[in-house]
Amino acid sequence: MDNTTNRDLEQMVRSAVDNASITDVHTHLFSPQFGDLLLWGIDDLLTYHYLIAETFRYLDLPYDAFWSMTKQEQADLVWKTLFVENSPISEACRGVLTVLSKLGLDVEARDLSAYREFFRSKTAEEYVDTCFKLARIDYVVMTNDPFDDAERPIWLSLDEIDPRFKSVLRIDPLLNSFESSSRKLQSWGYEVDTSLSKGTLAEIRRFLSEWIARMNPLYLAASLPPDFAFPEDSPRGRIIERCVLPICKEYGLPFGMMIGVKKLVNPGLRLAGDSVGKSDIGTVERLCSSYPDNKFLVTMLSRENQHELAVAARKYRNLMVFGCWWFLNNPSLVREITAMRCELLGLSFIPQHSDARVLDQVIYKWAHSRKIIADVLVDKYNDLAATGWTPTEDEIRRDIAGLFGQNFWDFLKR
């Protein structure tokens, strides 16, 4: 293949990636109907837990002194520490600047007060349009937790949701702290106890069914620790086996498992205090092989697990691998993981999700990821063309539309 064709191919791939409309399969965003649960603007960007963890690396400030500050005071400290006193080269710092730049603000000015003035002139509704347009996303999938005291009452009185925001029924409390969540279930009128009797399991299934009816979720999801095992003689094991998997099968919903998070290794950092641990891929294999009629949407937090997960996906068609999650969502690892997945799985995976907690983050998380994924795909299509098989522009667009959304929607319909 001559250089001209290589250049044509690269241009086709990059154009297809840049113009691909995205379904962001996992975020912590909320539609404007959820009020203050939707975070956006420069002070929410600067107090993102990734940046808080990085800020404390430079400070002897007691954690509680930070948490007693106002959000603006916290943002000022993050800005001073990570952007002024040190160059903002981390991925999370760079992301803030990418957002400001894409919004047309003067990053060179380094003028935090000017940035605040810009956001003060916006409403949440119009800013959702701005962010979706700049990030070129069609849909974001939320993380919706009926056990969350702030979110639950909104669901009970909600009559509409911006259709660009899709829901997910998130069940971490049910699986990972059943004793405390069982008390909440009792207070909501479900006849459950910690014995996990048949009656309790039936009531948990009723709870799941009622929230599926209320939320219309695309999948059920939970984050799970590195030592997550299945089958397991534990509340979590019993509830997954007797409640979650049957209900998912009944409603045709994937069970989304995000595996490998060590919660609060440093409690003083609060949301920023979680860490990573390597998990047993055998758990994923056993679930996929024992429940062939269930669908599993899985990502793992450990870099080493991502290779094992890609191999597992070769064995089980009911397993869909997604995203470069959290501590893996950095250019060097997104590049490595995406190339590995192309080499092992072809195009049958979902390369990325944003995990955005702040609306504006979709702008940078997708700008950064599109570039890297395009880099990898240019290599792969050039390697393909070098064999004499030259992909057409329509084929490239088809493939890339799958990676950035259609594979997800097709998996939901399977």
Distance CA 368, CA 137 (A): 14
In angstroms, give the least distance from the CB of 199 to ligand FIX. Answer: 30
Choose the contact partner of 223 out of Zn ion, ligand FIX, none; CB within 5 to 8 A by kind.
ligand FIX
3-state secondary structure of 24: strand
Measured from the CB atom, the residue of 15 and 275 that comes closer to Zn ion is 275
In angstroms, give the least distance from the CB of 355 to Zn ion. Answer: 4
β-pairing, 137-141 vs 261-262, is unpaired
Residues 6+ apart with CB under 8 A from 113: none
Residue corresponding to tokens 């024992």: 290
What letters, b where the CB count within 10 A reaches 16 and e where it falls short, cover 34-44? Answer: beebbbbbbbb
By CB under 6 A, what part of segment 229-288 binds ligand FIX? Answer: 258, 271
- Binding-site residue total for ligand FIX (CB under 6 A)? 8
In angstroms, give the least distance from the CB of 49 to ligand FIX. Answer: 6
Q: Which of 326, 381, 408, 411 binds ligand FIX (CB under 6 A)?
A: 326
Choose the contact partner of 326 out of ligand FIX, Zn ion, none; CB within 5 to 8 A by kind.
ligand FIX
3-state secondary structure of 87: coil
Distance CA 120, CA 114 (A): 10
In angstroms, give the least distance from the CB of 73 to ligand FIX. Answer: 22
Residue whose Cβ sits closest to ligand FIX: 223
In angstroms, give the least distance from the CB of 28 to Zn ion. Answer: 6
Measured from the CB atom, the residue of 71 and 133 that comes closer to ligand FIX is 71
By CB under 5 A, what part of segment 180-219 binds Zn ion? Answer: none
By CB under 6 A, what part of segment 147-166 binds ligand FIX? Answer: none
3-state secondary structure of 7: helix
By residue count, the chain amounts to 414
Q: In one letter, which amino acid is 180?
A: S
Site map (CB under 6 A) of ligand FIX, residues 13-32, x = contact: ---------------x----
Measured from the CB atom, the residue of 43 and 91 that comes closer to ligand FIX is 91
In angstroms, give the least distance from the CB of 356 to Zn ion. Answer: 9
CA 90 to chain centre: 19
3-state secondary structure of 85: coil
In angstroms, give the least distance from the CB of 239 to ligand FIX. Answer: 18
Nearest to residue 260, comparing CAs of 297, 231, 302, 288?
302
Nearest to residue 90, comparing CAs of 120, 135, 48, 137?
48
Q: For the residues of 246-280, what is the DSSP string, one character each?
A: HHHHHHT--EEEEE-EETTSSGGGGGGG-EE----
Measured from the CB atom, the residue of 196 and 298 that comes closer to ligand FIX is 298
By CB under 6 A, what part of segment 338-397 binds ligand FIX? Answer: 355, 357
> To the nearest 5 percent, what fractions of the chain are helix, strand and coil?
60, 10, 30
In angstroms, give the least distance from the CB of 329 to ligand FIX. Answer: 7
Contact 256, 291 (CB under 8 A): no
Distance CA 296, CA 317 (A): 9
3-state secondary structure of 223: strand
Measured from the CB atom, the residue of 178 and 381 that comes closer to ligand FIX is 178
Residue 91 binds ligand FIX, judged by CB under 6 A: no
Q: Which of 172, 355, 360, 375 binds Zn ion (CB under 5 A)?
A: 355
Q: In one letter, which amino acid is 34?
A: F
Measured from the CB atom, the residue of 109 and 271 that comes closer to ligand FIX is 271
Choose the contact partner of 357 out of Zn ion, ligand FIX, none; CB within 5 to 8 A by kind.
ligand FIX
From 205-213, 287-295, 351-359, 398-406, span contacting Zn ion (CB under 5 A):
351-359
Positions in the binding site for Zn ion (CB under 5 A): 355
Site of interaction with ligand FIX (CB under 6 A) = 28, 143, 223, 258, 271, 326, 355, 357
